[in-house]
């Protein structure tokens, strides 16, 4: 009888442990500003795939794109818990947390920002204003460019884009206007139609992805040097984060570190490919000189500092070389 009781008790403990282990796996939903097969949606998809591969029994992520939640609504969706995770640039939540735009201006890599305290500082601001926790980021080392469907007036060095209307985001609106252009905020999915109908004659976008989005068909010119720094953040709703077990939190932290290690490899692989794509498509490159980049950065830093002097002054010290 004693042996039977012991066997029964042991079986019950094992069953309870198995049930607990099974219940421990949590399913999360991530929304990305781009599809998983397009430019800066691809690194997010790679991260999700690797997380799911390593996270069996711990954590799994289902990734959806702008077809599920429109880009302008995605950041608020993670803030309110409609989705658990969000992958997108800070420009799409500029109105809630303008200080995150410093990542676009940063001269530092994400690992450097983690080391010098800037990442923790930004994480506190994300928690306070967006109810979110930053997990990972990618895009550093890839610059933005101006692209147009007709040639700029490069003889006018002060305002070479006078007479142009450009697709813009809050990140570079002031810069484009300083070049003489009018600006129109446009979601990525609407840019092709805007170009086709001549509602805009150009846009700002990184070196990567204009073929994926179809814009290369209508693009004739790219202006160098590049400016700013691509920043795509992967974050989790703060309430959801707090409900995860410590093991699940540690696993997501581990996967964030994995992204830090993998991103430079992906960037190197893709940069040459994208340059060749544009060259083969006949996109002409016009160099506007070093003042082009300096103007962009000075304008943006000054604009941000005027709006949030305490935070931006501190972050400038950590992000500029």
d(CA 219, CA 307): 35
What does DSSP say about strands 232-237 and 132-138: parallel, antiparallel, or unpaired? antiparallel
Residue 17 or residue 278, greater confidence? 278
Q: Is 18 among the domain residues?
A: no
| Residue 16 domain flag | no
Do 193 and 297 fall into the same domain? yes
Q: Could you tell me the residue range of the domain that residue 283 belongs to?
A: 144-228+274-307
- Please tell me the predicted confidence (pLDDT) of residue 212: 86
Per the structure, how many domains does the chain have? Answer: 2
* Lowest-confidence region among 3-7, 31-35, 267-271: 3-7
Residue (of 157, 170, 158, 146) closest to 222 by Cα position:
146
pLDDT bracket for residue 39 (50, 70, 90): confident
266 and 198 in one domain?
A: no
Domain for residue 192, yes or no?
yes
The backbone torsions φ and ψ at residue 24, rounded to the nearest 5 degrees and listed phi first, read -70, -30
Q: Is residue 123 part of a domain?
A: yes
pLDDT tens-digit series, residues 142-194: 999 999 999 999 889 899 999 999 999 887 888 999 999 999 998 888 999 99
Q: Does residue 39 share a domain with residue 79?
A: yes
Regarding whether 289 and 265 lie in a shared domain, the answer is no
For 132-141, the pLDDT digits (tens) are: 999 999 999 9
Q: What does the pLDDT look like over 215-246, one tens digit per residue?
A: 999 999 999 999 999 999 999 999 999 999 99
Asked if 203 and 213 touch (Cβ cutoff 8 Å), the reply is no
Predicted local confidence at residue 193, as pLDDT: 96
The mean pLDDT value for 14-19 works out to 39
* 297/183 same-domain check: yes
Residues 201 and 254 occupy one common structural domain = no
- Report, as an integer, the average pLDDT of 73-91: 97
Could you tell me if residue 321 is inside a domain? no
Question: 130 pLDDT exceeds 60?
Answer: yes
The answer on 78 and 122 residing in a single domain is yes
Contact yes or no for 244/84 (Cβ under 8 A): no
Share of the chain above pLDDT 90, in %: 84
Rg from Cα positions in the chain: 23
Is 313 inside any structural domain? no
Q: Are residues 216 and 238 in the same domain?
A: no
Q: What is the CATH number of the domain that holds 71?
A: 3.40.190.170
pLDDT category of residue 14 using cuts at 50, 70 and 90: very low
Mean of per-residue pLDDT scores for the chain: 91
Residue 257 covered by a domain: yes
Q: At residue 15, does pLDDT exceed 70? A: no
80 shares a domain with 41: yes
Question: Are 111 and 251 in the same domain?
Answer: yes
Helix (H, G, I), strand (E, B) or coil at 202: strand
Average pLDDT estimate for 289-304 = 93
In a domain, 10, yes or no: no
């Amino acid at each position: 009888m004693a042996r039977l009781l012991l066997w029964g008790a042991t079986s019950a403990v094992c069953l309870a442990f198995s049930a607990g282990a099974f219940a421990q796996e949590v399913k999360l939903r991530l929304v990305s500003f781009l599809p998983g097969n397009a430019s800066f949606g691809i690194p997010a998809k790679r991260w999700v795939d690797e997380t799911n591969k390593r996270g069996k029994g711990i954590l799994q992520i289902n990734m959806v794109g702008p077809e599920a939640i429109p880009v302008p609504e995605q950041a608020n969706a993670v803030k309110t818990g409609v989705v658990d995770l969000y992958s997108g640039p800070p420009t799409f939540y500029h109105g809630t947390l303008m200080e995150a735009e410093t990542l676009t201006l940063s001269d530092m890599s994400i690992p450097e920002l983690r080391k010098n305290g800037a990442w923790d500082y930004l994480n506190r601001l994300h928690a306070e204003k967006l109810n979110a926790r930053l997990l990972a980021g990618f895009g550093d080392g890839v610059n933005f460019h101006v692209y147009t469907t007709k040639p700029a007036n490069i003889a006018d060095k002060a305002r070479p884009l006078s007479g142009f209307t450009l697709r813009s985001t809050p990140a570079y609106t002031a810069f484009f206007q300083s070049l003489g252009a009018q600006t129109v905020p446009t979601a990525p999915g609407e840019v092709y139609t805007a170009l086709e109908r001549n509602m805009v004659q150009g846009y700002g976008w990184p070196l990567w992805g204009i073929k994926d989005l179809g814009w290369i068909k209508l693009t004739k010119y790219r202006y160098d040097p590049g400016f700013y720094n691509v920043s795509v953040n992967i974050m989790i709703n703060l309430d959801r984060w707090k409900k995860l077990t410590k093991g699940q939190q540690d696993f997501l932290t581990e996967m964030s570190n994995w992204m830090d290690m993998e991103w430079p490899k992906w960037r190197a692989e893709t940069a040459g490919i994208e340059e060749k794509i544009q060259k083969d498509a006949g996109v002409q490159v016009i160099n506007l000189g070093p003042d082009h980049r300096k103007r962009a950065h000075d304008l943006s830093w000054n604009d941000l500092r005027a709006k949030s002097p305490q935070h931006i002054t501190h972050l400038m010290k950590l992000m500029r070389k």
